[in-house]
Amino acid sequence: MKILGDKIRHYRKLRGISQSELADGICTQATISLIEKKDKIPSMEILVRICERLGITMNLVIVNDDSQIYSIISDIKKSFYQDDFDGINDKLGKLKNINVNNKQEIKLIHFFNGLMEYETSKNYDKAIFDFNRAMNVNIANVDMYDILIDIFTAKAYINKKSVDEAKVYYDQAKDLIKSSLDKIGDENYHDSILIYDNMADLSLKLDDNQKAAEYANEGILIARREQTLFKLDEMYYYLANAGTREGQKTDEDYIKAYVISSISENKPVFEKLKAKVKDMQLNIF
């Protein structure tokens, strides 16, 4: 169980009473302060009396572990979409003292732990260990994160210079995508785009230019359908790279990637493209 201290504070201020007034005859003012600032859980008797004084039911200020876990993992996903790895790390820390029983949530926690090792610590062995723990969670139905787990495992092996192992997981990801096309189309568009965006990147790393272009185009189609700039600059960049390697004219795709990265303020992509545009002497406007 978790108490929402900010909710207690909200209803106390709504009633126009101080911490001392709320505590009077129930507990100490310091207890109220700990509840509001640190989400300190009081005894059930104290909590019942506080809620009675505020004129609210307890379900407004407490959440059970299942609801809390779901909320935290939802926030982790949002941080993932924003490449906010500090946010992911902070939210993973909140799960350490919570007993997680749901297999899907256990799988996601292992994946995001691996992602942190991959993206921030650059500990690719530990990342692979966590990704394999996620894979070994026995769940019948495949979801989008099963594909992402294979993708990032392959990327970790590439960073270890283990290309043959990377290709095993790359092939697994391709097979999962092929068998899950309808599901990918129906999913949260962020997850769908992340799959195609990362597969385009992975394909380039493994010199599979045709697949890189195919995955980038699929992601671009979803982004256009959803009218979002999410990862659109990266996908045009991968599409342009794939075309360049195949000897195709890709000026337009580089320019699109450059403009979109400027609008979306994606600095890592923008800096790479700024140098590319200058080198290729492309006319932006």
Q: Which sequence spans correspond to the domains of the chain?
A: 1-61, 102-278
Q: Which residue has the higher pLDDT, 55 or 39?
A: 55
Percent of the chain with pLDDT over 70: 96
Structure confidence at residue 2 (pLDDT): 73
Tokens of 105: 């949530």
Q: Which architecture, in CATH terms, is 1-61?
A: Orthogonal Bundle (1.10)
CATH T-level topology, domain 102-278: 1.25.40
Query: How many other C-beta atoms are found inside a 10 Å radius of the C-beta of residue 119?
Result: 15
**Residue 188 to residue 143: CA distance in whole angstroms:** 11
Q: Where are the alpha helices (DSSP H) in 123-266?
A: 124-135, 144-159, 163-179, 181-186, 189-205, 209-226, 232-245, 251-264
Structure confidence at residue 12 (pLDDT): 93
Q: Write the pLDDT tens digit of every residue in 153-182.
A: 999 999 999 999 999 999 999 999 998 887
Contact 6, 36 (CB under 8 A): yes
Structure confidence at residue 264 (pLDDT): 87
Structure confidence at residue 130 (pLDDT): 98
Dihedral sign for Cα 193, 198, 203, 209, please.
Answer: positive
**Residue 235 to residue 256: CA distance in whole angstroms:** 10
